[in-house]
Amino acid sequence: MKILISSASFGKINRDPMEILEQNGYKPVLNPYGRKLEFEEFEGLIKDAVGLIAGTEKITADLLKKAPKLKVISRYGVGLDNIDLEAAKKLGVIVRSTPEAPSQAVAELTLALMLNLCRRVNEADRNLRKNNWSQLMGKLLYDKTLGIIGLGRIGKKVVKLLQPFEMKVYAYEPYPDHDYISLNKITLAPLDEVLSHSDVVSLHLPLSDKTIHIIGKKELSLMKKEAIIINTSRGGLIDEGALVEALRNGLINGAAIDTFEKEPYKGPLTEFDNVVLTSHMGSSAVETRKQMELETVNNLINALKELGL
């Protein structure tokens, strides 16, 4: 039985997941293009697959209708906003994901981006490569106020990593864990209040109809002029046009973005020295990817076995 692996990065650092599939009687088929699949390419590959290991590529109702044998989608990652879950449910397709595996890696990248922006590491590196020896004046994270937008698995790990910096923490979380919030002396507040109090704002929400552009022109105007914003969560949480406008007008001090509304990103955020951009690499740590791949394969196999396949 064919298992399509549409994620272009899957299996590059570890052969074990492929062997596990083969040992269980499945035939893994890798993405032959080394990039996100176009619809016609996807359609041709998925039409006879019983299982799909998916990355961030769009899996629409139209695509699912082209896959009559498909029984299980195992998402190689956390978010499911790229999958039409309602269509999958109607067609009887089981959907699984790996919510735990990427958390530490994404949290560590978030910390790296915060430190980079505060100490202007990228700017200094670019200057030095141009023979410009200038000691840039940065800021400390220590004793500042952190605003966490979304206090789930990754948000909590970010809070833990930042404990040595003795930051005050404000959080916006629609479904709060009150025991955790009390234990860690976090101030739970409405979004506007979190934004207006914070020196560093970090986004850790899923993308949905309720959260798309949760940070727009109004929200950016509420932030301190010396504040920075970090998005290692989902593209679309920030209105990128509004962010560009806020940076141009000096409404905020900087931004670090790992996920974008359209990827690969080629927009005007690349023009700013006080912006750090990374290529959706939150989970791109060797240890994390190995764990994610094994969990993804095991999720797929277990679901197929439950169906007797």
Strand order in the sheet with 2-5: 27-30, 2-5, 49-54, 72-75, 94-96
Active-site residue, selected from the candidate residues 75, 197, 204, 234: 234
Are 235 and 205 in contact by the 8 Å Cβ rule? The answer is: no
Mark whether 234 is an active-site residue.
yes
Distance CA 199, CA 224 (A): 7
Residue 264: is the preceding peptide bond cis (ω within 30°)?
Answer: yes
| 153 CB-contact burial (10 Å; exposed 0-12 / middle 13-18 / buried 19+) | middle
Q: Which of 197, 204, 280, 289 is catalytic?
A: 280
| Residue 78, token pair as written in the block | 């956390």
Distances (CA, A) of 64 to 33, 85, 290: 20, 10, 28
The whole-angstrom separation of Cα 141 and Cα 293 is 34
Which residue in 100, 226, 263, 306 is the catalytic one?
263
Compute CA 162 distance to the chain's CA centroid, rounded to the nearest angstrom.
Answer: 19
- Catalytic residue flag (residue 263): yes
Q: What is the DSSP letter of 163?
A: G
Whether residue 204 lies in the annotated active site? no
Q: Helical H runs in the chain?
A: 16-23, 39-46, 61-65, 85-90, 103-119, 121-129, 153-161, 178-183, 191-197, 217-222, 240-248, 286-306
What positions carry a catalytic annotation?
A: 234, 263, 280
